[in-house]
A and B are shown apart, each in its own frame.
With several copies, the nearest count.
Chain A
Amino acid sequence: MAELTYRAAVSRGIAQEMRRDPSVVFIGEDVAGAGGVFKTTAGLLEEFGPARVVDTPISEQAILGAAMGAAMTGLRPIAEIMFADFFAVCWDIVVNQLAKSRYMTDGQVDCPLVIRSGNGGAVRFGAQHSQSVENWAMAVPGIKIVAPSSALDVVGLMAAAVRDPDPVLFFEHKALLATKQDVPDGEIVDTLGTARTLREGGHCTIVALALMVPRALEAAERLAAEGIEATVIDVRSLMPLDTNTILTSVASTGRLFTVEENPRLCGWGAEIASIVADEVFWDLDGPIVRITTPHIPLPAAENLEDLAIPSVDRIVDEVRRAMT
């Protein structure tokens, strides 16, 4: 048991899998010699050498294409897209190639790979380096998606992602990199497609992801002090989606709140809201409320960005308003 940062958990998870399986290789921009611009991959080059840990040119399409072709032919690559915003320059490989090749070939093509990326805001990087794009991917059948909120989940879900036979997008939240957690020693392997209930409360269900998870938890504590007991669920995996955990909770609490960092429209919370409004409609005791970043690009100025992304205060206010 040692205290681990979310940042260090990334390289621990990757190293765990690279030690286990020689077919795991890792490529990206400035990931080897420099250990990554977020220092999430420090030490991998030193341990696994330049054949398995590779610095690439600024060529995102070539990077993901190389990862895909290698995955089709016996390797299990991990590729880094430095900032999730950059998926826009290589989106074709993700949504048109990786996501569809198995189906189009009726199962002939395997793409066991992981694409890691620094996702999300609250770091004052401005509109082109702060987006939460997990819902871009959720709209496309054929790719799995995880977005861990803690160091422990980073290690375990990284292992699960690398071992999964399908392409997995692994979203690391930039604003969580410095957070710490006690993580057990030894091998850790988690399961994709499983949400985690972090807090039990009978009055309402709050569903959150990544950076929104600690904020939702803190909000729940404050709401409890006011007599509103919330269940808080960390979705963790958007594809596959653990609808059981969510539906069961909402069926018992009767109220659903989603806390989403993405700009509002077509966020993952919209999908969950629509599932709930269909499947447990008769259990609902009131409106479904989504707490999201407004539908605007993210501003750079600290005070403005803090107003944009759902804060603990805003979560508390919106839940209180809706529950009373």
Chain B
Amino acid sequence: MNAVASREAAYGQHPPVLPEPFDPNMDQAAIPEDVRLDMYRKQHEIRQLEKRLYDLFLQNLVKGTSHLAIGMEAIGAAFGAALRPDDYSFATYRGHGHTIARGVPPEPIIAEMLGRATGLLGGKGGSMHLTSVEHGMMGSYAIIGAHLCIANGAAWSAKLRNSGQVAVAFFGDGATNIGAFHEAVNYAAVYHLPTVFVCENNLYMEYTSIGQVTPVRNPAADRSPAYGLDATIVDGNDADAVYLAAVAAIDRARDDGGPSIIEAKTYRHGGHSRADPGTYRPDDEISAWMEHDPIPMYHQRLLRLGVGEAQLTEIETSVAAAIDAATEAAKAAPFPPAEALWTNVWADGGSQWRN
């Protein structure tokens, strides 16, 4: 990413950070066509789901907060394609995409956002905590840092059980400044754990540009020497680039090669959360990144690689149909019954604290 120095006058400590052009060589990357088509579908699933969630929010059907990853779909899609079904994913509150990328259907996700009994979490967790253990989606964590430490535990257990499973933890640029990040990466390095740390660097921690509050340019990658690790920096909007980095890191972890850090440069098209219009970002930064949109780019690449327009349209429309159906089903679902308040505090299914 090249900081445009000339703009410093205009933007002070906060110059626009413009994307690098997409790497033309990625067309030649040795990635099977079915994998590429899967990543194309997953990117559409994520974007169309999140656009739908935004519409539902505008209709005031989604309460509380929600954090969309529109513009950042390539990362989730690529990891969804690169992971083994029994691998573990740990995400943040910005985790809808990572959840669907592991194969979780859209209906329970939408239902959860609408606070319905059929929600992925029975309506009890909400937007920031999407989890589907059966899909290896081990949770979305809303307090920054903790899940990086927790991912190590899943990696450690996989190592002790010789299961060959890998744990991937997704986090933001801003998260690299919290203590738990340091403890987690360090701990993974000390015990040579199969943990893959994936920084989704979207240039902002909420409303503050990451450069303003971080002393190094690459918040995750530039920290890796502190743990004796190499880091990979990739264009987070190019699903193929992310996929290659993901496969390399996951294979290394599986072969007992230890943890990795991947920093994926990306950008959110909207604000930090539903409450945020994102006006603190310079216009030319926004427009440059809007043009660096992962989905149209990938569409063009697939065409260049000989995939037919019709096939791509079919994917797009079938995803749209699935999201529509899921939305209708979710909207028709009942709200959680009052009894749900009292269940699942404890493993016995209840919430009793006294006799």
Residues of A that sit less than 8 Å from B by CB: 25, 29-30, 33-34, 37, 51, 54-75, 77, 85-86, 88-89, 92-93, 96-97, 101-110, 112, 123-129, 141-142, 164-166, 193, 239-244, 265, 275, 294-297, 299-304, 307-308
Contacts and interface: CB of A to CB of B under 8 A. Distances in A.
Interface string B145-181: 1111111111111101100010100000011011110
A89 B178 contact: yes
B148 to A, nearest CB: 7
Interface residues of B, number: 82
A123 to B, nearest CB: 7
A54 B213 CA distance: 10
A184 B186 CA distance: 43
B197 to A, nearest CB: 13
Nearest to B169: A69
B186 A30 contact: no
B153 A69 contact: yes
Given A33-B208, A74-B161, A193 B355 contact: yes
B184 to A, nearest CB: 6
Interface stretch (B45-53, B235-243, B302-310, B333-341): B333-341
Nearest to B275: A37
B125 A308 contact: no
B344 A243 contact: no
B131 to A, nearest CB: 4
B22 interface: no
B224 interface: no
A270 to B, nearest CB: 13
B349 A88 contact: no
10 contacts: A57-B190, A61-B146, A69-B156, A73-B157, A77-B153, A92-B145, A108-B133, A128-B142, A299-B124, A301-B115
Contact of A59 (B121, B160, B187, B353): B187
A64 B155 CA distance: 14
Interface in B187-228: 187, 190-191, 205-208, 212-214
Contacts of A57: 174, 177-178, 183, 186-187, 190, 205, 213-214
B63 interface: yes
Contacts of A62: 149, 152, 180, 183-184, 186-187
Given A57-B187, A296-B345, A72 B126 contact: no
Contacts of B212: 55
Contacts of B280: 33-34
A48 to B, nearest CB: 12
Contacts of B341: 294, 296, 299, 304, 307-308
Contacts, number: 292
A197 to B, nearest CB: 15
Interface of B: 63-65, 88, 115-116, 119, 121-129, 131-133, 138-139, 141-158, 160-161, 165, 167, 174-175, 177-180, 183-184, 186-187, 190-191, 205-208, 212-214, 275, 280, 335-336, 338, 340-349, 351-355
A34 B153 contact: no
- Interface-central residue, A29, A105, A242, A300, by most chain B CB under 10 Å: A300
Contacts of A302: 63, 115, 335
Contacts of B354: 240-243, 275
Contacts of B184: 61-62, 65
A124 B275 contact: no
A92 B150 CA distance: 12
Given A63-B187, A89-B179, 20 more contacts: A25-B160, A29-B206, A30-B208, A58-B174, A58-B175, A70-B160, A74-B161, A75-B156, A77-B153, A89-B144, A106-B343, A126-B126, A242-B355, A243-B355, A299-B340, A301-B126, A302-B115, A304-B115, A304-B123, A304-B341
Contact of B206 (A25, A37, A97, A141): A37
A71 B63 CA distance: 32
A104 B129 CA distance: 7
A64 B153 CA distance: 9
Contacts of A72: 133, 138, 150, 153-154
Contacts of A300: 63-64, 115, 121, 123-127, 129
- Interface-central residue, B115, B127, B150, B345, by most chain A CB under 10 Å: B150
B345 A141 contact: yes
A68 B88 CA distance: 14
Contact of B143 (A56, A74, A128, A164): A128
A319 B250 CA distance: 60
Nearest to B122: A106
Given A72-B154, A303-B335, A65 B178 contact: no
B130 to A, nearest CB: 9
